[in-house]
Amino acid sequence: MRRIKVTVDGKTHEHEVEPRLLLIHYLREVLGIGGAHSGCDTSNCGACTILMNGESVKSCTVLAVQADGEDIMTVQGLAKNGEWHPVQTAFHEAHGLQCGYCTPGMIMATISLLKEKPNPSEEEIREGLEGNLCRCTGYENIVKAVKQAAGSPVS
Partner 1 sequence: MIPLKFDYEVAESAQHAVELLGQHGDEAKLLAGGHSLLPIMKLRLAAPTVLIDIGRLNDLNYVREDGDKLAIGAMTRHTDVEHSDLVKSECGILAYTAGLVGDPQVRHRGTIGGSLAHGDAASDLPGVFLALDAEFKITGSGGDRTIAAADFFEDYLMTALAPDEILTEVRVPKLNGAGWSYRKFNRRAQDWAVVGVGAILERSNGSISSARIGFTNMASVPVRASATEQALSGASVDSIAEAAESAADGTSPSSDIAASSEFRQHLARVLTKRALDEALSR
Q: Can you tell me which of 5, 10, 18, 118 binds partner 1, judged by CB under 8 A?
A: 18
Q: What are phi and psi of 146, to 5 degrees?
A: -65, -40
Contact positions with partner 1 (CB under 8 A) in 60-99: 61-63, 65-66
* 123 lies in the binding site for partner 1 (CB under 8 A): no
* 22 lies in the binding site for partner 1 (CB under 8 A): yes
* 128 lies in the binding site for partner 1 (CB under 8 A): yes
Distances from the Cα of 85 to the Cα of 17, 109, 137, 144, angstroms: 31, 14, 24, 16
Q: Compute how many other C-beta atoms are within 10 angstroms of the C-beta atom of residue 140.
A: 11
Which lies closer to partner 1 via its Cβ, residue 3 or residue 92? 3
- Cβ–Cβ < 8 Å for 84, 94: no
Element (H or E) spanning 90, and its range? helix 86-93
* 52 lies in the binding site for partner 1 (CB under 8 A): yes
Residues of this chain that interact with partner 1 (CB under 8 A) are: 2, 18-20, 22, 25, 41-44, 46, 49, 52, 55-58, 61-63, 65-66, 109, 112-113, 116, 128, 130-132
